[in-house]
Chains A and B, each alone.
Chain A
Amino acid sequence: NAGVTQTPKFQVLKTGQSMTLQCAQDMNHEYMSWYRQDPGMGLRLIHYSVGAGITDQGEVPNGYNVSRSTTEDFPLRLLSAAPSQTSVYFCASSSTGTVNQPQHFGDGTRLSIL
């Protein structure tokens, strides 16, 4: 079972460049989400989606863009990368996102902005 797949695993960008972090899940989950993890801190929610065509902002949405055209995919776009966006990014999914469902996480993307 693939579960939640994130690509790439590592990426180095220059300030001002744009890129897309890919996330795909094969569990037919309606709910998908993106988090960032910085040293000494827990994961913080960037954006989430409760189904195809529906997205919403989390705690730290600035500088990031998302769309959800299919149930399977939830890409995260960095519009103009900044050093403050250096972090480990996790994508997660659950069946419907309701309070009783644990989220399944991908293995993460380690992103460095120079």
Chain B
Amino acid sequence: EVQLVESGGGLVQPGGSLRLSCAASGFTFSPYWMHWVRQAPGKGLVWVSRINSDGSSTSYADSVKGRFTISRDNARNTLYLQMNSLRTEDTAVYYCARVIEAADYWGQGTLVTVSS
């Protein structure tokens, strides 16, 4: 069974940092591109970032570029999102997703709250 399990969310002050993890199991992780998507409370889905299969290519939404870094460890079957200089508007549930043509499997999400 394909599983994606996010962790690392929590409460952080503005300007702080967090690292999210997404542990993959039930499939061969290394060939797949992986994405992060977030959803602020009561709002819609917002695409955040993506990484290719070997980690050599990444892309970011303008709203997080220069502050967030996506990475992966194929040996550990884990995806990461390093989030620095956090702002109140980064408060959201963060989902990781496996992508072929589209995001066919999603994690359950981890809540990040940025507040003083």
A is bound by B: no
